[in-house]
Amino acid sequence: MEKTVSATNATHATSSTLGATLGFWAANIFLFAYNFVLAGGFFFQFALNEFPCPLCMIQRYFMMLACFGPLYVIINTKRGTITTQKMIRGYGMSLLAALVGSTASIRQILLHIKPGDPGYGSAVFGIHTYTWALVSFVVVMVFSAIMMIFAKELTPKGTEYNAVATINVWLFAILIVANLIAIIALEGFNFLLPSDPTKYMLFH
Amino acid sequence: MDIIIMLIITLMFLKVIIKGKFDKRDFMLWILTFVLVVVLFKLHATSNLNLNL
């Protein structure tokens, strides 16, 4: 009887450790995926010389705000203060940012939905970047919902933090600072971005 | 306004990284940034179409 109880406890411990590791890596994958998307935005801006429109920038802000969810989980894991409640709060932030961010993407899709409209900027695999942004927001909403449903099982234990997470966080830092510099150059001394930017206002 | 939003996001991030924790004040700052982005969205996405909802 005692052997059966200890075997069950061992199985629970293994599955909870696996869940905690999975939860931590899920937060890292989320942050890395949006790092990739934000870096892709810079590729369009600087390599293809396509200026981001105001709605594009708004979608980037919502992506950055959504990233604060997994960042909250990663930071608390590093400190060893992560709890299920904090995990839910983090993904709640992501869910809210993705929900409102998706309305900005839908708005931009609707602006160019008329047949014959070439859309704004280049397309990737036949789909414009703002439509990809909507796809990313929907994925984040589904992902965050799953993380919240299984928050108890997926809460990291506080021992999972590693160098990969540090690199991921600093990559996010570089992208935030780069976005700040880019928006200063793009907006210049104006209060709002022009609806169809064609130059860096700071230098004109 | 975009510059103000990006400045707040950058400061909030740096604060979190340097302190190594995300407390209630940072959470309030996140909400403030969120509201500012929603206001910016409203400023850019106001339609003159007489839509019937």
- Run of H or E residues at B42: helix B24-44
Measured CA to CA, the distance from residue B22 to residue A72 in angstroms comes to 6
Structural domain of A89: 20-203
Instruction: Please give the angle made by the CA atoms of A100, A60 and B40, to the nearest 5 degrees.
Output: 60
Does residue A6 lie within any of the structural domains?
Answer: no
User: Which residue is closest to B39 within chain A, CA to CA?
Assistant: A58
DSSP labels for B18-36?
Answer: HHT---HHHHHHHHHHHHH
Half-sphere exposure of A181 (CA within 13 A, CB side): 9
A57 at the B interface (CB within 8 A)?
Answer: yes
Whether A76 has its CB under 8 Å from any CB of chain B: the answer is: yes
What pLDDT score does B23 carry?
A: 86
The answer to whether position A4 is within a domain reads: no
Does residue A196 lie in a domain region?
A: yes
Q: Does residue A5 form part of some domain?
A: no
Residue whose entry in the numeric block shows the structure tokens 């880019």: A182
Alpha carbon distance B14, B1 (integer Å):
20
- Decide if A15 is inside a domain: no
Using CA atoms in the order B6, B11, B12, B14, what is the torsion angle rounded to 10 degrees?
A: 120
pLDDT of residue A6: 57
Give the one of B21, B30, B38 whose C-beta lies nearest to A68's C-beta: B30
Specify burial of residue A105 (Cβ count, 10 A radius: 0-12, 13-18, 19+).
buried
Q: Is A169 an interface residue toward B (CB < 8 Å)?
A: yes
pLDDT at B6: 94
Number of domains observed in the structure of chain A: 1
Where are chain B's structural domains?
2-41
Report ipTM (2 d.p.): 0.90
DSSP state of A191: S
More confident residue, A142 or A16: A142
Q: Give pLDDT tens digits for A69-117.
A: 999 999 999 888 899 999 999 999 999 999 999 999 999 999 899 888 8
pLDDT tens, residue by residue, B12-50: 999 988 888 888 888 999 999 999 999 999 988 777 777
